[in-house]
Amino acid sequence: MESFPLALIASFTNDALIVGGLSLGFLILSLGVHEAAHAFVAWRCGDSTARDLGRMTLDPLPHIDPFMTVLLPAILWFGSGGAMMFGGAKPVPVDYNRLRKPARDMMLVALAGPISNFLLAIVFFLVFKLLVFKAGFAGQDIAALVMYRSMQWNCLLAAFNMIPIPPLDGSRVMSYLLPRPLRESYNRLEHLGMLLVLGLMFTGLLRFMYLPVMDALTNWANFLTGGFWA
């Protein structure tokens, strides 16, 4: 499987602000889908907490956290001159004790978010290819750029969230896979998890943890949407 040419979105045009704004809008919608997926799987596994709180919805507004979704990304973006951005949605509440098989079900709830983002990446990639290869759009047209950028954002969300550092989704999977004697000690890292994530991000080491996965997901999305179209 080949990587899709990133050169298609490498350069900005005079419409960069429009592309950025629309891509950000789709990113916020994608965060909503991610959290709704967590809530839906938790409900199916026996815990209706998130559903009862109105979090099992595709409406992104209930999933927005003023600090994590708006303020922190803005501070990092403008403070780094556009070189760094980090944030997230409001976490979906899950009552561990209400799940039918708590350890297993927490893993399933966690996996639902990244899987939803990968599925969205496939949809955005398919629309991008339809626009470019069937509808006659150029790769640098606004609509095509927005679809490709949105595909990349969703691959990034899926890859980043699967890093096994609490409280990221990957840590729930790792917790389930660890032997029971190690599980409790590992879960206690959650109190320091966000500091670890930020520390790795500022040192530049975090990108080596998610970029290979992001590239692999992009290749898979390309493959599952038919590869390169004639």
**Residues with catalytic roles:** 35
Cα separation, 15 vs 140, in Å, equals 10
Task: Please count the residues of the chain.
Answer: 230
| Cα dist from 128 to 89, 121, 172, 208, whole Å | 26, 10, 33, 27
Predicted local confidence at residue 18, as pLDDT: 85
| Cα dist from 182 to 95, 108, 162, 172, 176, whole Å | 22, 20, 19, 13, 10
Instruction: Read off the DSSP letter of residue 11.
Output: S
Q: What is the mean pLDDT of each run of 10 residues along the chain (230 residues)?
A: 41 67 88 96 97 94 87 74 73 95 96 97 97 91 94 95 92 92 86 84 87 96 89
Predicted local confidence at residue 6, as pLDDT: 41
Domain residue ranges in the chain:
13-224
Cα separation, 92 vs 41, in Å, equals 11
Predicted local confidence at residue 44, as pLDDT: 97
Predicted local confidence at residue 188, as pLDDT: 85
Predicted local confidence at residue 87, as pLDDT: 76
Predicted local confidence at residue 14, as pLDDT: 56
CB atoms within 10 A of CB 183: 15
pTM of the predicted model as reported, rounded to 2 decimal places: 0.88
